[in-house]
Amino acid sequence: MDKPLKALQELGDEFERVEREQPPPRRARRRRRRLPLLVVPGMLVVAAAAMAASAILTGEPVRNPPGLAFRADEGLGKPKPATIDLLDLRVADPDGGPPWGMRTLRTTRGLGCVQVGRVVDDKLGVLGQDGAFGNDGRFHELPADVLTQAQCQQPDGAGHVFLAVSYQGLPASALAGACRLSGVGKPPRPSGAPRRPAQPRCPAADERILYFGLLGPRGRSVTYDDATGREITARTHGPDRGYLVVLRPSATRRPSGRFVPSPTPLSGLASVHYDDAPICRIRSPRALGGAKPCPPVGYVAPSGPRVNAGQVSTPVRATVSRKPVKPPWPRVPVGVEIPRMWKLTIAFRARLSADAQRLYLVGVRPRSGAGCRAVSSGSVNRDVDAGEVVRYTTYLPSRCRGTVRGIVTYRPQPDGPEQVPAFLMVLRGVPEGQAVVGRFSVDLPG
Amino acid sequence: MTRSDDEGGLRVALCEPGGFVALYRRESELVLTFCARRVLDAETALDITAETFAQAFRGRASFRGTTRAQARAWLLTIARRQIARYLRRGALDRRALRRLAIQMPQLDPDQAEEIERRAGLQAIRAELGEQLARLNADQRDALRLRVVEQRSYAEVACSLGITEATARARVSRALRALSAALEPKTSLNAAEESWTSP
């Protein structure tokens, strides 16, 4: 008889530990709960009263696009219900109606997010206008798990989030994508591609410019110029000091559809005021030297043990598809043809765990003279357990030939406030603070 | 399954101290072999085995079987579900392992080779190559485009100049033929896998 496998023995020891540490479970009992019959009519009465009070009818909630599901251990993660906080921040819309508001939340991956929308009965949502929900005129609640309508960022070492968004053209409905902004041209249609249903134009009066975000614990207020050139001050709300500015487009603020997230305010506002720190004057992007972001006042760099190569190094394997294949990229617009590409799969067994803060980064570069200049770098955008086999897939243009080289590094903590996911170029030397997990090379067929 | 299969009517007291570990020590290699023969990779098989036992541990209070055979069938059902999920999504589920904070062991190349040897993967791979060669050219082409090149059925149909329904039928028939030919090699012996629900 074969002797027991070492890996299974070790795994068995782990189960032995877990069984020892956990109290014995109780036998599961099946119970069905029923609402007392009297409660149901009561609930209906309360709902009807609430509807009458809000004077705006409620429709179905906003949903994620079909086929898009958020996972607790991947990408942004899933919202943690206990962390959802609608800030006491209400901003009037230039045309009236329900005010604008903002809420913050944390996800299962520890990211801090903000969502903006219209507020009815202390609920954040969107309005059925500007092409949204068939222009039904109703209020549609925005569930927290519709993270396509959220902006997220990694918190700093003290748990505060720094985030600034400049939204150059959001319809007054607060739902992006349901109508085409006046500053955005028609998307090109490749010859032979099926005709897409025409997207309605956003009514010019319903286009809005939004600046919003979280300034961190010392952010006191922001100032901006209104349409007449008057400087307006908006104070911040909540522990992460949220701000929200809603304006009509103007000659200097065109509804171009540009959406610019950054850790700190970069453009659009006039100034940012902090507790015990100099005022940050926002420069025009057209000024000599261009725009400059405000400093992250109050940012605490996350601390963690330094990691060296000895702790993370492990064999890294790379394999390439025998032929170029079509990348299975989701949500490709109708008519857009994705070219076939080399599929490169990198695999290694992680020695240390990773999450949204501590990342495994992969950089890939074909050898010079390989017929292409493509470089690819990215992070393993999910939670990784120590001991787990990590597989990372990337695609290179089919014209690439010869040898592809690459490197896998481990970054134990962020270097500063940054966007998610962290795309760092790790090809030209390993940045300070990162440890080399391993290097690989693979020959492309042909 | 009958009462005679229950190895003397042994009760699997999974909720008692040491009960689950005893089950693990008895069945882990069988589950690992079961997984390895389906995913044809030692590391992935070990990961799926670990997650299978982690899920079983978390759900042990709801296990209603009384025999070793029933416990084995229960484990293989969880493993089957994990494998199907892995093949469908291309990613491993590790939620139960994470919740239990289980540290995965390192699998060195020698151990991986040993797992492959015990699971007889070399023979299965050889058989797979042989069975692929036996498929008729139409089915093989459809299978290559769909499975190896990961093309959509519409693209498979377009490439082969057939309707999408025919493309689906060819891929399905090819997979069925491979499955039928390989089933005796990939399954554990019949007695180990047969069961009735507890």
* A269 in Cβ contact with A223 (< 8 Å): yes
Cα separation of A440 and B13, whole Å?
A: 48
Residue in A1, A2, A3, A5 to test binding to B, most B beta-carbons within 10 Å: A5
Burial classification of residue A163, based on how many CB atoms lie within 10 Å of its CB (0-12 exposed, 13-18 middle, 19 or more buried): buried
How many CB atoms are located within 10 Å of the residue A235 CB? Answer: 12
Task: Report pLDDT for A266.
Answer: 83
Whether residues A387 and B105 touch (CB distance < 8 A) is answered with yes
If asked whether residues B66 and B142 sit together in one domain, one would say: no
pLDDT tens per residue, range A163-196: 999 888 899 999 987 888 877 666 555 555 555 5
Nearest residue to B179 via CA among B34, B38, B35: B38
- Name every chain A residue with its beta carbon within 8 A of the beta carbon of B30: none
Q: Which of B68, B93, B119 is the last residue of a domain?
A: B119
Greatest Cα pair distance in chain B: 63
> What residues of A are in the B interface, CB distance below 8 Å?
2, 4-8, 10-12, 14-16, 18-20, 24-28, 72-73, 322-323, 325-326, 328, 349, 351, 383, 385-389
> What residues of B are in the A interface, CB distance below 8 Å?
15-18, 20-21, 24-25, 28-29, 32, 43-44, 46-47, 49-50, 53, 57, 60-62, 92, 94-95, 97-98, 100-107, 111, 114-115, 118, 148-151, 155
Q: Bin B147: left if φ > 0, else alpha if -120 < ψ < 50, else beta.
A: alpha
Cα separation of A226 and A229, whole Å?
A: 5
Q: Is residue B11 part of a domain?
A: yes
Q: Is residue B61 part of a domain?
A: yes
Whether residues A10 and B105 touch (CB distance < 8 A) is answered with yes
Q: Is residue B130 part of a domain?
A: yes
How far is the first Cα of chain A from the last one, in angstroms, to the nearest whole number? 46
Task: Report pLDDT for B162.
Answer: 84
If asked whether residues B132 and B92 sit together in one domain, one would say: no
Compute the 3-state secondary structure of chain A and give helix, strand, coil in percent, each to the nearest 5.
Answer: 10, 30, 55
When CB atoms are compared, the residue of B20, B104, B149 closest to A388 is B104
Q: Which of B119, B149, B174 is the last residue of a domain?
A: B119
If asked whether residues B173 and B137 sit together in one domain, one would say: yes
Higher pLDDT, A417 or A183: A183
* A163 in Cβ contact with A261 (< 8 Å): yes
Contacts of B109 (CB under 8 A, 6+ apart): none
If asked whether residues B110 and B132 sit together in one domain, one would say: no
pLDDT tens per residue, range A341-354: 889 999 999 999 99
When CB atoms are compared, the residue of A19, A328, A386 closest to B103 is A386
Nearest residue to B181 via CA among B114, B133, B116: B133
Helix (H) or strand (E) holding B173: helix B164-186
If asked whether residues B101 and B162 sit together in one domain, one would say: no
Task: Report pLDDT for A401.
Answer: 82
Q: Is residue B145 part of a domain?
A: yes
Residue in B16, B85, B99, B102 to test binding to A, most A beta-carbons within 10 Å: B102
Give me B109's structure tokens.
């190349």
If asked whether residues B11 and B96 sit together in one domain, one would say: yes
Provide the residue type at A121 as one letter.
Answer: D
Higher pLDDT, A197 or A123: A123
Angle between helices B164-186 and B153-160 (to 10 degrees): 110
- Name every chain B residue with its beta carbon within 8 A of the beta carbon of A72: 95
Helix (H) or strand (E) holding A163: strand A163-171
* B114 in Cβ contact with B121 (< 8 Å): no
If asked whether residues B48 and B107 sit together in one domain, one would say: yes
Residue A120: band (very low, low, confident or very high) from pLDDT cuts 50, 70, 90 = very high
Cα separation of A140 and A74, whole Å?
A: 27
Cα separation of B12 and B23, whole Å?
A: 8
Whether residues A15 and B57 touch (CB distance < 8 A) is answered with yes
Question: Dihedrals φ, ψ of B113, to 5°?
Answer: -65, -40
pLDDT tens per residue, range A243-256: 999 999 887 788 87
Contacts of A4 (CB under 8 A, 6+ apart): B29
Cα separation of A162 and A418, whole Å?
A: 9
Q: Which of B119, B145, B164 is the last residue of a domain?
A: B119
If asked whether residues B94 and B171 sit together in one domain, one would say: no
Give me the domains of chain A, ranges plus CATH numbers. 50-184+199-281 (no CATH), 309-443 (2.60.40)
Nearest residue to A360 via CA among A341, A339, A388: A388
Residue A93: band (very low, low, confident or very high) from pLDDT cuts 50, 70, 90 = very high
Instruction: Tell me the CATH number at B150.
Output: 1.10.10.10
Which of A215-229, A264-278, A430-444 is predicted with the least confidence, judged by mean pLDDT?
Answer: A430-444
Higher pLDDT, B178 or A368: B178
Say what percent of chain B tops pLDDT 90: 16
Say what percent of chain A tops pLDDT 70: 79
How many CB atoms are located within 10 Å of the residue A248 CB? Answer: 18
Q: Is residue B15 part of a domain?
A: yes
Task: Report pLDDT for A83.
Answer: 92
Q: Is residue B198 part of a domain?
A: no
Higher pLDDT, A115 or A31: A115
DSSP letter string over B88-116?
HHSS---HHHHHHTPPPPP--HHHHHHHH
* A263 in Cβ contact with A418 (< 8 Å): yes
How many Cα atoms sit within 13 Å of B128 on the Cβ side?
13
If asked whether residues B96 and B25 sit together in one domain, one would say: yes
If asked whether residues B174 and B103 sit together in one domain, one would say: no
What's the domain range around B84?
3-119
Angle between helices B68-89 and B42-58 (to 10 degrees): 120
* A352 in Cβ contact with A410 (< 8 Å): yes
Give me A145's structure tokens.
């798990």
For the ranges A19-28, A349-358, A392-401, the one whose mean pLDDT is highest? A349-358
B106-129 per-residue burial string, b: 16 or more CB within 10 A, e: under 16: ebeeebbebbbeebebeebeebbe
How many distinct structural domains can be found in chain B?
2
* A293 in Cβ contact with A266 (< 8 Å): yes
Q: Is residue B193 part of a domain?
A: no
Residue A426: band (very low, low, confident or very high) from pLDDT cuts 50, 70, 90 = very low
Give me B101's structure tokens.
């904070």
Q: Is residue B190 part of a domain?
A: no
Cα separation of A103 and A123, whole Å?
A: 10
pLDDT value at B174 more than 70: yes
If asked whether residues B99 and B147 sit together in one domain, one would say: no
Cα separation of B14 and B22, whole Å?
A: 9
How many CB atoms are located within 10 Å of the residue A266 CB? Answer: 21
Cα separation of A225 and A232, whole Å?
A: 6
How many Cα atoms sit within 13 Å of A308 on the Cβ side?
1
If asked whether residues B113 and B126 sit together in one domain, one would say: no
How many CB atoms are located within 10 Å of the residue A255 CB? Answer: 23
Residue A417: band (very low, low, confident or very high) from pLDDT cuts 50, 70, 90 = low
